[in-house]
Structure 1
Amino acid sequence: MRDAKHVDDTGAGRETAIVIASYNRPEELRTCLEALAGLDGGPVRTIVVDDGSDTPLAGVCAPFDWAECIRQPNAGPGQARNRGVRAAEGAELICFTDDDCRPRPDWLTRLVAAQGGIEKRLVGGRIENALPRNVYSSASQSLSSYLYDFYQSHGSGMTFFTTNNVCFRREDFLAVGGFGDFAVASEDRDLSLRWSAAGGTLVYAPDAVVDHAHALDMGTFWRQHAGYGRGLRDLHKAMNARADGRSKLEGAGFYLNMLGYPLRKEGHNRLGQSLLIGLSQVAMIAGYGAALRRERRARAK
C-alpha cells in the first residue's frame, strides 16, 4: 500500500481515507476492493463498515491489507458511514464509494484534486451505469443523472450528491453532524442541504468516475423507489423541524423533462427507461404515502 497521503494537482499531500458501508453483498464488495487495488499509484487506507451482514465481511477484506473491516449491528448506510468517518482518525480527506461501485483508476486522484483541501467544499463525482443492458438499472441511473444535470444547470439550492462518489474534509463532515438518522434513504440530500446551510459549497467533478453495477429487476426497482419515497418523507420532516424554507417540489416542467431525459441521451431501450422513470415516481408517491399513514397511526395510538 502506498502512503495514505494523496497528492493533489497543487502538489500538496493530504492524508486520505476511503469509507465503504456494506451489507450482505460480499461479492460486490470484493469487486469494489479489487477496483480500489488498481487505483493509480496503488490503494490507500480503506475502512469497510460491515453494517450487520448475515455473514461477517471480514473475510472478504482480509486479502487486502490496506482495508480495515469494522462490524456493527445493522443501523443503515448513513450510520455505517458515520462510524467509518469517526474511525478514520488522522485522515484529512474522506472519500465515499459503495460496495457495488467500481472506481476507475484515476478516480481518487481526480476527486481529491477537485476537493483540494478547501474548507467546507463537498465534491461529487460522476456515476456511470455499469449494466447498460439492464433497463431497470439504466432507468435508475438516468433518473439520478437527470437530477445532477438539472440542479447543476439551474444553480438550485436542492443540489445534492449521492454517497457513492463524494469527497470532503473529515473535519467539516463532523462539524455539520454527519448523516442524520435516516433509516431508508435521503440522508445524502439532507447532508447536502445542511452543508450548504452551514456556508459550504457543493462542487461537481465529472471526470472523477465510478461505474455503478446495481442489478435491478421490476420488484427491486419498485422497492428501491418506494424506499426513496419513504426517505423523502423523512427529509421533509427534517426540513420542517429546522425551518428550512426551500421548496420541496419542482414545477411541472421539471417532471416532464425528467420523463423525456433518456430519449435525449444515447443508450439501450431509451423508451423503456422513460416509462420506468414514470413508474419510479409512482413508487415514490406510494412510499411517501405509506410513511404518512404510519405517522397517522402512530399519532392515533
Structure 2
Amino acid sequence: MDNSPSILGDTVGAVHVDPRRSLVAVVERDTQAVTVLSGDEADPRAEILVREQGMTLAHFRLNGAGGFVEQALDQTPQGIPHRGWTVGAGKNTQASVVVCTMGKNPLLPLAVKAVLAQTHGAFEVIVVDNDPVSGDVRRLLAGLDDPRLRIVNEPRRGLSAARNRGLHAAEGSEVVAFTDDDALVNPNWLSSMLDVFASAPSGEVGAVTGPAFAAELQSPSQRFFESRGGFPHGLEPVVWSVRPISPECARLGQAGDGGPLYPLATARVGAGVSMAFSRAALQALRTFDECLGAGSPTRGGEDLDAFARVMRAGFAIVYTPDSVVHHVHRRDLAGLEQQTFGDGTGMAALLFKSLLHHPTELVTLLRRIPAILARVRPGTDRMSGSEDDVPSVLSRKEVQGFLVGIPLYLQSRGRHALSQVGSQR
C-alpha cells in the first residue's frame, strides 16, 4: 500500500485519538488500487473493503502491524459473486440524489463531490438547505460549479421536511436516492441501485438500500457505534417484503429476517444514509412523516417508517451490498450519547405509530416479547457492544429514549397539527 493521504485527511480535527484506532480503506482486487478513507498503516487495526468490477467481495476487520491490504486480498474468496440483477441494466434511468443539510458539517463538500463523481450518467444532485437564513450551505459549496447540482431551500426545520422538499424538487425523476452530508458514496453507489430497479419485474421493487460502513475509526465513540451494531452492512443481497413476491423478484436475494420487531420496525432493511425509491413507491409513500426524524421531538425513525409503509403498499425492498456508503460516525462521546438517545425515542415512536395504524399487530408483538427481551438484555452485543470498553451509558441512554418516545411522538403530532393550521390561515 502506498502512502497517499486519506480522503478525510485533516477533516478529523481535534478528536480523542483511540488507541484501538483503525485504518479504513477500499481496495479494488483487479487493479490493486487502494483508496484510504482515514487512518494509516501505523494504526493497530484496519477495516478493509474489497471490491471488483463494481461488486463488494469482502469486508475485513484486522489486527496487526501493517500489511493490512495484503492480508485482506489473501483472505478474499476467489471469483465474482452471483447477482440476481444485470449490471448496467439501469444505465438509462433518470435519477435524482437528495442530500439534506443545515450546512454545519464541514464534510458537506466532500459528500457532494462524492455524489457528483458517480459513474452513472443520467442524474442530478439536489442539496436541500434546511437553514437557508444562515447561508452556510452556499458558503460551503461555493467552489462547486456543476450543472447537475441544485440547491433548494427548506426553511422548516427537520429532516423529514427537508426530505419532502427534495422529493418535490425531484418530481421528474424515475428514481430518487438519498444520502447524508456526513457520508461518502462509492462511485458505483447510484448505478448499483438503479441496476436492481431496472432488472426487477415491473412495479415490484419499490426501494433499494445498501450498506453503510464506517469511514473513520479514529475516536473511541466511532468504534463504540460500530461495536453496538452500526448501520446495516451485510455482504449478501436481501429481499424484504411483507407480501408474496414473484419468483423473478425472489431471485434478487435471500429472504430477509427482520428480527422480532419486524415489520413494525425495519432497522435491518437499511438506513436513510443509503436508500432509493421508485416513482411508483413514492406515489404510494407521498411524503416522509414530519412527526418523525431528526429535528422533530422524536429525533429519528422517518427512514424506517418509510420502508415499512412502502412494503405495506405492496412493494418489495432489495438490499444490495454493491451500493456502498462510508459514513463518518460521531467523533465524540457526547454526540454519540445524543444519537443513541434519539435511536431509542425514534424506535418507540415508530412502534407506537405502527400500532396506531395497525392495531391488530399488537397480538403479534406481544407474542414476540420473549425474543425482544432476549435481544436487548444486558450484556448482549446489541446493548453492551462487542468490545470490552463500551461505556454502559450508551445502553442507558437508548433505554431512556425508548421510555419517552411515545409522549415525544404525541408532542410532535401536536406541533405538526398546529403548524398545518397556521399555514392554512
Bin of the TM-score, shorter chain as denominator length:
0.7 to 0.9
Question: What's the counterpart of residue 327 of structure 2?
Answer: 212
| Cα 1:236/1:69, change in 2 over 3 Å | same
Which structure's CA Rg is the greater one? 2
Asked whether the equivalents of residues 229 and 284 of structure 1 are also in contact (C-alpha less than 8 Å), the reply is: yes
Describe how 1:241-256 pairs up with structure 2 within 5 A: 241-244=356-359, 245=361, 247=365, 250-255=371-376
Among 158, 175, 187, the residue aligned to 1:93: 175
Unmatched runs of 5 consecutive residues or more in structure 2: 1-85, 241-254, 413-425
What value does the CA root-mean-square deviation take over the aligned residues?
Answer: 3.2
TM-superposed CA distance for 1:51, in Å, is: 0.8
Q: Which moved more, 1:153-162 or 1:9-18?
A: 153-162
Distance of 2:116 and 2:384 partners within structure 1: 35
Aligned to 1:129: 214
Partner of 2:138: 58
After TM superposition, give the deviation of residue 153 of structure 1 in Å: 5.3
Contact persistence 2:95–2:174 (CA under 8 A): yes
Of 372, 381, 388 in structure 2, the residue corresponding to residue 258 of structure 1 is 381
> 1:85-127: per-residue Cα shift (whole Å, max 9, x none)?
1111320011111010010111111121123275242111110
- Provide the secondary structure at the position in 2 that maps to 1:247: helix
Larger RCO: Structure 1 or Structure 2 (Cα < 8 Å, ≥ 6 residues apart)? 1
SS in 2 for 1:128: strand
Give runs of aligned pairs for residues 137-216 of structure 1, distance below 5 A: 137-145=222-230, 154-155=257-258, 156-157=262-263, 158-159=265-266, 160-181=269-290, 182=292, 183=296, 184-216=299-331
- Change in Cα spacing, 1:114 to 1:279, as seen in structure 2 (3 Å) is farther
Structure with higher helix content: 1
CA deviations 1:15-41 (Å, max 9, x no partner) are: 011001111335211111121232225
Q: Return the TM-score normalized by structure 1.
A: 0.81
- Structure 1's 186 and 11: CA in aligned 2 closer, same or farther, altered over 3 A? closer
Identical-residue share of aligned pairs (%): 22
Q: Is the 8 A contact 1:38 1:105 kept in 2?
A: yes
> What one-letter code is carried by the residue in structure 2 that aligns with 1:288?
F
Of 186, 190, 213, the residue aligned with 1:104 is 186
Partner of 2:152 in structure 1?
A: 70
Does structure 1 retain, via aligned residues, the 8 Å contact 2:208–2:277?
yes
Distance 1:227 1:252 in 2: 20
Unaligned runs of 5+ in 1: 1-6, 264-269
For residues 22 and 146 of structure 1, do their structure 2 counterparts lie closer, same or farther at Cα, with a shift above 3 Å needed? closer
Number of matched pairs: 283
Counterpart amino acid of residue 110 in structure 2: T
CA distance in 1 between partners of 2:289 and 2:409 (Å): 19
Q: Tell me if the contact between 2:179 and 2:275 (Cα under 8 Å) persists in the aligned partners.
A: yes
Instruction: Give the Cα separation in 1 of the matches to 2:283 and 2:273.
Output: 18
1:25 counterpart SS class: coil
